[in-house]
Amino acid sequence: MANNSAKRGFFRAAMDNLVAARSRQVARYVNGALLMMDDETLKANGYSREGLKRGGSSYYPF
């Protein structure tokens, strides 16, 4: 019984780490897409170019 509990804990931790990594990847992708917009559009939607650059950006061709 203890063995099943340990396995479930391992897989839950692995899944949590996978979700966290994907969330960071998506945030960088969205920042990259937002950085392609002009400053007026960013400001109208509550973003600043400097803030987006601080968050990091990447392009992932899915």
The mean pLDDT values, 10 residues at a time, for the chain of 62 residues are 61 95 92 93 95 81 60
pTM, full prediction? 0.68
Residue 61 belongs to a domain: no
Question: Residue 23 has what pLDDT?
Answer: 95
The whole domain housing 9 covers 2-54
Question: Residue 55 has what pLDDT?
Answer: 84
Residue 62 belongs to a domain: no
The number of domains in the chain is 1
Question: Residue 37 has what pLDDT?
Answer: 94
Identify whether the C-beta of residue 35 lies closer than 8 Å to the C-beta of residue 49: yes
Residue 6 belongs to a domain: yes
For residue 16, what are its two tokens? 């949590």
